[in-house]
Each structure stands twice: as C-alpha cells, then as structure tokens.
Structure 1
Amino acid sequence: MKEETLKKKQEFVSQLAERIKKFRVIAVADLRNYPDRYLQAVRKKLRDEAEVVVAKNSMIKRALEQAGRGKELSEMMVGPTALIMTNMNPFQLYKLVKQSKGKAAAKPGQIAPYDIVVPAGETNLPPGPVLSELKQGGVNAQIKGGKVVIASDSVVAKAGQKITDAAAKALQKLGVEPFEVMFNILAAWEDGLVYRKDVLDVDEKKLIDDLRRVASEAFNLSFNVVYPTKQNIALLLQKAHLDSRNLAVNAGVYEKEVIDLMLAKANAQANALKLKIGV
C-alpha cells in the first residue's frame, strides 16, 4: 500500500511538473482562512485563463524543482497553498483575483480587524437556547413579540482583540461575517523574476496620476533647459522665434520681419517725446 501511495505521489509530481512547463507565469496563494466556496469561485473565474492546483506544499515544491521553473516561490509556502499557472501578465492575474473579494465568518482566536458591532434590531431567530448563546457572546439580546431582538448595538470584539469562542458562535448564529477575504497571491514568477504581493498590488488610479504628473514635470524641465524632444520641439521653435524678434527689436537690428515692430516702437517713442516737451 505504501509503495502504491508513493508511486501515485511521484506520478502526480511528474504530471504537475509537465503542466508547469507549459505556462509562462507561476504564482502561489495562501489559502489560510479562505473559504472553499470562494476558492471554487476563483477556479471558475480563472477557468479560461489559468489552472489552479491545490496540493501539499511538499509536492508542489518538488514539482517546481523538477520543472526548473518558479522554485524561488518555495520559501513562501508556509500554510495551505494553491499553485496558479497562467500565461497572463502577473499584474493582470493579481488584478483579476483581487476583484474576487468576499466575506467570511469569524473563527475563535482570530484577531478582530475593527470593532465588530452587532447593530440593534430584529432577528429571524426564534426564542430558545440561542438567547443565552448570544448573551454569552456579548450580544444584548432579548425576546420581544415572539422573536429574538438585539436591544442595543453590541460590541462583541474590539479591534485588535482575539475573538472568543462564544463571540464567534454568536456572530455565526446571526449570520454576521466580519472578515473580508480574497485569494491571497503571495508572489508570481515570470522568466526568472519574482514579483511579490506588494509589487503586484498596483493602485492603477494612483499610478496613472503619478505618470501624468511625472510626464508634465519632465516636459516642463526639458522646455526650461531647452532640451529638444519630439514633444517640446514645436514650442521651443516658437519661443526661439519670438525671442529672436524681441532681441532684434531691442538691439535695433534692421531685418524684414521686425522692421514694422521697430517703426512702431520708434513712433511710440516719438509720441512720448512730443508729449514730454509739449510739441
């Protein structure tokens, strides 16, 4: 039996290694606290764009090493891991899965990301043992009109505190899912380069705004230091033309293009002189 199991594992690793070789981009995702229903939704969303494989880390690591691709990702696998294989750009992959956010129930021992408050109001829960369960979880629950109601806003966990077993049960009874979860891609490998999460997580609006600002600053700098480029050459020529006309007028250089300006200037000076001497 052991030999048969070992043979199956070896076959799986070999087959996975061959699949890895067919793709340009390899990524790994941390599946800790990630509900299976969301994993299945991600698989469906990526069906035409990528393959998602969930297996033991040891088997994924061996397959990466055997394929000679993406083995740099091995050190990042510390919990349940999904391997993603695709020909998409790593940034496109991250953007696509980032949109697949969802809510998840609280588990005992998890840290509250913010003050978890159960708002006052009616519930669909009938009277019974659930009332004491809610109260044990810190919920101000009462029975009114044959229903369990929340008498006042109840904080069941403060931000940064561990969620107790009683609080987790109370939240689940009320259908409150306080955690936001997403397919947590830790890094992606492409052509020997590893892009970590902090690099992949691009704020597109900020990036575009920054590019526009930098482009504007670069244009102004090149124009002010008179560095000709394809983008500024027309304005530089216009400025040079105007500067040369002004220089010719001020220096009294008789030239066909500025003679009219010089005559106008001389006429203005003559009129000013007449007014001054009263002629």
Structure 2
Amino acid sequence: MALYTHHLPVWKKNQVDEIKQHFVDYPVVGLVDMYGIPASQLQHIRQNLREVAYIKMTRNTLTSRALDEVGGEVATMAGHIAGQSALIFTKENPFKLYKLLEQTKTKMAAKPGETAPEDIVVAKGPTSFKPGPIVGELQQAGIPAVIEAGKVKIKDTKTVVKKGEVISAKMADVLAKLDVKPMDVGLILRAAFQNGTVFAPETLAIDESVYLGKITLAAQQAFNLSVNAAIPTTETTGAILAKAVRDARSLGIEAGVYEKDIIDAIIGKAYRSSLALKGIVEE
C-alpha cells in the first residue's frame, strides 16, 4: 500500500516529490550504496559523473517512500536499501551505468568489523620493516614472518581472511602496515531500473571482451556454414563461388577431364604417378 506525502512535513514532502519527478525526467535510475566513501572522494565522484548522471542523496526513509509512491517494479528497489543509500539518475543504459560506477571504485585499507569482499592474500617476500615487534604482530595474525638480511620477510603466501569473513582489529592493523588495501570503496550499484525492469548488478556485470569474442566466433561459424552449405548471402557469395571453382578444378583433375584450364595439372599428376610407379618397379 502506498505511503502518502501529505502526512509528511513540507521539506520531506518536497524531497519525495523531487525524487518522483526525476523518475519522469530520466529513463534509468540506479540505487547505490555510498557506505565508507570519504567526503573528498564522493565530491570527486560527483564531479566526474556530472555530465552523465545526477546523484540524489537523502534519508533512506524518504528514498523508500518515494520508491513506494512511484509504485510498480520501482517499489521493489526499496528492498535493496541498506547502509548509506542514494539514487542516481541518468540517460545512459544500465550496463553503461554499472561500468561507470565500477570506475569510481578505489582500493582502501580495511577497517575493523568490515567483511572481506574477496579472499585477502598476503604475498611472500621481503618487506620494508626492520626487525622488531612487527615480527610478533605478523605471526600473531597468522602471517609467517622471519628476519632475513636485516629485514622482515614473509616466508609463504597466505590467505589471511576468506571472502565473507569479518576482519578483526588486529588483522586490519597488520594489513594496513603491510599496505594491503582489500576494500573497494566507491558507489556500489545495488539495483537499476529501466522500462519497467529492475536489473540486479550481477546481470549488468558483463565482460565486453568475452561477449565480443563470442559474437566474432558466431559470425565466423555462420560464414563457414553459409559457404559449406552453398547458401548465398552478400558476404559469402564470393567465397562460395571461389570454393565451387576449387572443387570443380579438383574434380576435373582427379577424373582426368581434359579441359584447357586444367590440362597442365592433369599431365603433372600423370607424370608424378609414373615416377612413383617407376620407383616401385625398380625396387
């Protein structure tokens, strides 16, 4: 059931009405999570996206109410609101929007209590640390460390936090000292809406090079099928005629059909056969 803005204070009603109007003005809308983005980075992101998108930040409750009042499939986007959410409005398609938002992400150090987005791996090799308490800190964090040539060295590559696990304060401190930055910080797309359809981010996360490779392969296979099945098209007629000429020439040579364009080839074939036969007789 829709929630109506006449129960809201004027400033809140204006916020909801503004969001609803943006749904009229823009064909594509994304719901993003801004959690953990430093103010300076957010300002930089907004400047970079200014020509292609408008970011509307307000309270989650007002965003949810606006989505509910727009109704339809849009209302289901409210289920993705979490953390510090915002709406982003654009005239680009959802796939382009996803790609643009991925480009806003930068790597940052982990904070205690955050969840590892992927396996966090510490690579083996020398560090810049001199012998000292750091050796014990690394070992307590489960990182095999030794002293070698006057420097602290990590003996083996080790996965210290698995994807989905919570990063402890001790681990966050050690990772920061090792300059390991596992956290992607930027506008994270939770859902996008266009033409009555809500897209999940995993649907939009396509590898363009893989798809281009598949299209290229499909085109080549279609070309080969057309040529081999003698189905003429604008692109394949030349190749079909060339193949027909080659096949006819080969047939004529093998069958010994005396025709002026292949007589030399027939004589050459007969000569090679006579040489082969001569070699067998002499043996």
TM-score in terms of structure 1 length? 0.70
* Letter of the 1:96 counterpart: L
Which residue of the partner structure matches residue 260 of structure 1? 260
Q: Corresponding residue for 2:3?
A: none
The CA distance in 2 between the partners of 1:168 and 1:13, in whole Å, is 39
In 2, the alpha carbon distance for the partners of 1:51 and 1:138 equals 47
Which residue in the other structure is 1:108 paired with?
Answer: 112
Deviation at 1:245? 5.8
Moved more, 58-67 or 192-201: 58-67
Gaps of 5+ in 2: 1-5, 144-149, 278-283
Quote the Cα distance in structure 1 between the aligned partners of 2:83 and 2:77.
13
Q: Which one-letter code corresponds to 2:120 in the other structure?
A: Y
Match of 1:184 among 185, 188, 191: 188
Percent of aligned pairs with the same residue? Answer: 29
CA spacing shift, 1:239–1:172, aligned 2, 3 Å = closer
Larger Rg belongs to: 1
Give the counterpart of 1:121 among 104, 120, 128.
128
Residue matched to 1:50: 53
The DSSP-based 3-state class of the residue aligned with 1:186 is strand
**Which deviates more, 79-88 or 217-226?**
217-226
For 2:58, the aligned partner's letter is A
Alignment of 1:202-221 (within 5 A): 202-221=206-225
Displacement of 1:271: 8.2
Correspondence for 2:160: 158
Unaligned runs of 5+ residues in structure 1 are 124-130, 141-148
CA contact (8 A) 2:253 2:266 kept: no
2:88 aligned partner, one-letter code: I
For the Cα contact (< 8 Å) 1:157–1:163, is it kept in 2?
A: no
Counterpart for residue 78 of structure 1: 82
Structure 1 residues 268 and 164: CA distance shift in structure 2, 3 A = closer
| CA distance in 2: counterparts of 1:5 and 1:173, whole angstroms | 49
Match of 2:240 in 1: 236
1:198 maps to 2:202: yes
Distance 2:17 2:45 in 1: 25
The root-mean-square deviation of aligned C-alpha atoms, in Å, is 4.4
Offset from partner CA, 1:222-254 (integer Å, 9 cap, x none): 22222222221111123234445666777798x
Q: Secondary structure at the match of 1:180?
A: strand
Is residue 41 from structure 1 mapped to residue 41 from structure 2 by the alignment?
A: no
User: How many angstroms does 1:10 deviate by?
Assistant: 1.3
**What code does the residue aligned with 2:75 have?**
K
> Would you say the 8 A contact 1:136–1:166 is kept in 2?
no
The count of corresponding residues between Structure 1 and Structure 2 is 255
Moved more, 236-245 or 188-197: 236-245
Q: Which amino acid aligns with 2:260?
A: D
Match in the other structure for 1:21: 24
Tell me if structure 2 keeps the 8 A contact 1:138–1:167. Answer: no
Of stretches 264-273 and 4-13 in structure 1, the one that deviates more from structure 2 is: 264-273
| Deviation readout 1:158-205 (Å, 9 max, x if unpaired) | 122532224435656787644233321122211112332122112122
- Counterpart amino acid of residue 194 in structure 1: V
SS at match of 2:92: coil
Report the CA distance between 1:15 and its aligned residue: 1.7
